[in-house]
């Protein structure tokens, strides 16, 4: 692609994303819906101006990494640990139920081949942590009690998704699964997520000292972006999603993340506030690329809208995709309202589901009809979940545990 064409496309993405977000807000919808719809408008589904080029995908990847970094900075690690057992239950059940439901119906009801059914089940295990976090942040519930359970469950769900994707990819290529390689991925990812925040925390006093000595404007955002991208790269190197590297870096910068006997490493609230203030414009610049790319990745023009198989299959899979995630949250001991809120927040599939579907299509596992139906289910859960979650909080938010005002970002 010519440089001038690429620059024009980036400009179009930024402008349409902003216009879409503004329109969505005026219609009482979450801004991210406007950004995703902007991608549908300028992408292959409608106008066909822009395809998800590799450079645009890279900008989107940076956007979601920085968004998860911001979430990590605002996360209370003690709450996350407290919510850990319940988050793990929500994640595992919300992983197993969609996989079994999607596989069983595809294999036995629709008589699809084994590998196709496995990939369909795998696609519906996903939870888009970026979309879920953005919804909670817009509702000021990302630091709430149920917000920490949702965040922890989404992180665990992402890790489980990496393992399943690796196993299915091996199975698609070789016809068997290498247990040793799968175990190695598990150990690498688990070890990284435990060690990375501690390592980052130990490095940060050096950063702070450098900030104090520097006489060059803008040193904080430049150094922090490099720091976050370094951890994202390390995360991908060990086999984990790169967004977990951004989240781990954010955790280390959180005012509420302390090492045992490490009071001397406390960087202070003022430093954290300054960092968040200077990083916010950069995050707001890159994040729209991610949500627009979600819309660009969906090609509605390939759908055979007159096919009875498409409607029967997609509606059945949609039912499984929604009910199985909500049911996963009903196994924890909480109020009906809290369990429902958690389950609903786990429904959006977003870019994670599209990654599964695209891998299956590129490997020749999905034909066009299956790919289109699965894509429609992913798009529905992505586009409409923010509306019903927002409506649910408006109707029943008073019955949920109140968010602690002290934990909200400044």
* pLDDT tens digits for range 137-152: 878 887 787 888 888 8
Q: Which residues, 6+ apart, have CB-to-CB distance to 50 below 8 Å? A: 9, 12, 13, 42, 43, 56, 296
Q: Are 111 and 129 in contact (CB under 8 A)?
A: no
Q: State the total domains in the chain.
A: 1
Q: Which residues, 6+ apart, have CB-to-CB distance to 374 below 8 Å? A: 120, 123, 314, 317, 353, 357, 360, 366
Q: Are 326 and 88 in contact (CB under 8 A)?
A: no
Q: How many C-alpha atoms does 197 have within 13 Å on its Cβ side?
A: 22
What rounded mean pLDDT belongs to the chain?
78
Range of the domain at 92: 3-407
Give the pLDDT confidence score for residue 264 in this predicted structure. 40
Q: Is the dihedral of CA 373, 152, 264, 409 positive or negative?
A: positive
Task: Compute the distance between CA of residue 44 and CA of residue 337 in angstroms, rounded to an integer.
Answer: 39
Q: Taking the model in full, what pTM does it have?
A: 0.70
Task: Compute the distance between CA of residue 365 and CA of residue 357 in angstroms, rounded to an integer.
Answer: 9
Give the pLDDT confidence score for residue 108 in this predicted structure. 92
Confidence of residue 255 (pLDDT cuts 50, 70, 90): low
Say whether pLDDT at 36 is over 90.
Answer: no
Q: Which residue has the higher pLDDT, 98 or 234?
A: 98
Q: Which residue has the higher pLDDT, 281 or 382?
A: 281
Give the pLDDT confidence score for residue 101 in this predicted structure. 92
Q: Which residue has the higher pLDDT, 265 or 338?
A: 338
Task: Compute the distance between CA of residue 358 and CA of residue 365 in angstroms, rounded to an integer.
Answer: 10
Residue 285 falls in which region: left (phi positive, over 0), alpha (psi -120 to 50) or beta: alpha
Say whether pLDDT at 317 is over 60.
Answer: yes
Could you read off the pLDDT of 342-354 as tens digits, one per residue?
888 888 877 667 7
State percent of the chain over pLDDT 70: 80
Could you read off the pLDDT of 2-27 as tens digits, one per residue?
888 888 999 999 999 999 989 988 88
CATH code: domain of residue 325: 1.20.1530.20
């Amino acid at each position: 692609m010519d440089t001038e064409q690429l620059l024009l496309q980036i400009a179009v993405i930024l402008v349409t994303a902003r216009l879409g977000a503004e329109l969505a807000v005026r219609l009482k919808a979450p801004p991210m819906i406007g950004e995703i719809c902007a991608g549908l408008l300028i992408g292959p589904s409608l106008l066909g101006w822009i395809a998800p080029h590799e450079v645009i995908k890279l900008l989107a990847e940076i956007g979601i990494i920085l968004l998860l970094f911001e979430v990590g900075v605002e996360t209370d690690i003690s709450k996350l640990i407290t919510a850990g057992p319940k988050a793990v239950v929500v994640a595992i059940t919300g992983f197993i139920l969609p996989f079994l439901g999607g596989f069983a119906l595809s294999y036995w009801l629709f008589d699809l081949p084994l590998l196709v059914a496995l990939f369909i089940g795998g696609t519906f295990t996903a939870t888009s942590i970026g979309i879920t976090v953005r919804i909670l942040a817009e509702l000021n519930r990302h630091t709430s009690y149920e917000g920490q359970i949702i965040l922890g469950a989404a992180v665990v769900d992402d890790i489980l998704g990496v393992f399943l994707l690796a196993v299915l990819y091996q199975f698609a290529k070789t016809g068997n699964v290498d247990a040793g390689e799968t175990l190695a991925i598990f150990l690498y990812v688990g070890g990284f997520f435990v060690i990375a925040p501690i390592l980052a925390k130990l490095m940060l006093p050096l950063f702070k000292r450098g900030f104090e000595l520097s006489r060059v404007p803008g040193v904080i955002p430049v150094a922090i972006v490099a720091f976050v991208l370094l951890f994202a790269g390390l995360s991908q190197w060990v086999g984990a999603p790169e967004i977990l590297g951004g989240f781990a870096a954010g955790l280390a910068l959180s005012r509420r993340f302390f090492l045992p006997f490490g009071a001397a490493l406390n960087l202070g609230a003022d430093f954290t506030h300054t960092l968040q203030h200077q990083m916010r414009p950069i995050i707001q610049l890159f994040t729209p690329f991610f949500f627009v790319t979600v819309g660009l990745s969906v090609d509605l023009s390939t759908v055979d809208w007159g096919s009875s198989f498409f409607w029967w299959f997609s509606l059945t899979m949609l039912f499984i995709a929604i009910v199985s995630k909500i049911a996963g949250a009903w196994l924890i001991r909480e109020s009906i309202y809290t369990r429902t809120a958690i389950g609903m927040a786990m429904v959006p599939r977003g870019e994670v589901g599209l990654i599964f579907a695209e891998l299956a299509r590129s490997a020749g596992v999905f034909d066009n009809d299956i790919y289109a139906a699965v894509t429609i289910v992913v798009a529905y859960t992505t586009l409409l979940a923010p509306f019903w979650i927002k409506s649910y909080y408006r109707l029943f938010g008073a019955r949920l545990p109140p968010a602690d005002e002290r934990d909200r970002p400044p």
